[in-house]
Structure 1
C-alpha cells in the first residue's frame, strides 16, 4: 500500500520534482478547475486544453508558490491567467441567438456555419462545491455561460472569481495584475450585462420547484413526441415563447408556432429517432439518435439541452455532432429496432 502523506509533505515532494506527488495534490481539484475553465471559455474542448496548460504552468512554477494562501487558490489564479490568454487570442463563443434575429420561415437543409466559434454543452458530473452568490451548478447553466461570453476577459474573470468562487476583490486584483478599483469597476459592468441576459430564476431554482414526476413527464414526453412524430404531444409541452436553436446551424426559431413549423417540417421528416436521457449544464437533456432510413442503426445526432419554465419547455438547444456524445459517455450509435 502506498504511503499517504499530509498535504504539506506532498507539496515538499512536488517542489523537489516529484511529479506523482504533484498529481496527487491537484487531482481532487481537477474537476472544479475544469469547470472554471469551461465557464471562462464556453467550450469543454478549450477547457481541456486550458487546464492542461495551466497545470503544466503550475508544475513548472511550483517553486513560486510560497504557501501563504491555499494551493487551491493558487491553482485557480494560474488557471484564470491561462484562460485570459486564450480569451485574448480567440473570439468569444456564441449561440445562434447571438448572431441575429429568429427565422421567420422554416429553413430546410440549413448548412453549418463553420466560421463561428460555437458555445458547447458541458457534462453534469462533479459540479457541486463551494460557491458564493451563484451555486456551482447554476454557474454552468447555458444562460449564464452564454452571458459570460459577452464580457471582455477581465470582466468575465472578475465576475466568476468573485460571484462563483468567492475570492476577495484584493486577491482577484493580484491574480489579474490590476487594482482593486479596476476589479470593482469590472464587476459592476459585468453584473449589468449578465443581469440583462440571464433570467432572474435560474434553472436550479426552477428544477427545485418542479415535482420529480412532472420533470420526468416533460423530459420523456419530449423525447417520445419526437420519436413518434406527435405534434400535439410536443406542443403541449412548450411555452408560448419557446425557442429552438441548433448550433452549428445559424437558423433559430422563437414562439410555439414557429418552433412547431420547424419541427414538423424537419425533425419529423428526417427518419426514425431513438433517445437516451442525460444531464448537461446542470439541466435536463435528451440525446437523440437518427436512422435516416427508418430501420437503424441509429447514429448520434444531437444533445438537446432543455430550459424549463413553469413546468414546460421554454428553450431547446440542440448541440449537433457525435463529438458531444463521447464527452458525455454516450454511445456513438444505438442498435436497430427489434
Structure 2
C-alpha cells in the first residue's frame, strides 16, 4: 500500500483524477480528508503502478509507501486522531473521555432500566449491556437474545444514552443493528474474520476488544479488516491479557493504551472490569487508564452484584461508580483532559 498526499490547495478534480488512475489499475482506494490536507490510500500490489507517474499528477505533493502491516489503522495513513460522535459526545481526539457503563448481562427489563438510570445520573455517556453472552461454560447464562436487545432499546429511550452490545456471529449483525448503536466484538471473537467483515460492512461504530493472548499488532490487524470496508468508526478496547498471574482475572496492559495511540489514529477504550475481574481493583485501573490517555472507559455496574447472572464479582454498585466518575474527572483535569457532563 502507498498513500498519496495531496497539496493543501488541491482541487476536487485533481483528487478525483488520482482516485480514477488508481482504480484503473484495479486498486482499492480510501480517502482521508484531514483538516490541512487530503490523503488517498491506494491498496494493492504497488509493483503494477508507477509511483513517479502518480507523483507527477497535478495536485500531488508526494507518494509515500506504508510499511506497517496495518495500513489503514496506522498513523502513516492518518496522522490526526480519528473522532466520531457517540450520542451527544465525541470519542477520540485526546482531550475528552467517554464513559460507558452498565451490567455485564441484561437480566430483566427492570434491571437494565434501573441500572441505566443510575449510570446516567452518575455521569455515564453510553449504556453497555450484553444480550448475547459468550461464556466459557455452555451451562452458564447465555443472555436473553432479542428480548434483551428490546430492553436495551427501551433503556435508551428512558435515558437518551446510546447502546453498546456484543454481536457474536455474522448472521446476527443485522438483528443487533436494529437495536444497538455500537457493535462490540468480544475478546474471544477478535480474530473471527467473517464477523469482522460483517461489522465492517454494517458501517456501524465498532468496539473491538483485544484478544486475551493477542499481540498489539494482531489487534490492529483485526481493526484493519473492519476499516477495509470503509467503516472508519472503530474503537480499540484494551481489556487485559492472559498471563501467569492469578490474583486478577487478567493482567491489565496499561502499556497498550499509549502504544496503540502512538501506532494508530483510532480511539482507545479501557475495560478495567474485565482486566482486573474484581470490583476492588476496578477504580484504580480506571483512573490509571485516564492518566495513560484512554479516550474512553467501559465499566460494569450492577445495582445488586451479588444477584448478577454473570460477572457480579467485577461489577461496581451505582454509588461506587458515581464516586469513581468524580475521581476520574479530577485526574482528567490534572492531565489537561475532561470528562463532560
Q: Name the TM-score class by shorter chain.
A: under 0.3
TM-score where L is the length of structure 1: 0.23
Larger fraction in helix? 1
TM-score where L is the length of structure 2: 0.23
Structure showing greater Rg: 1
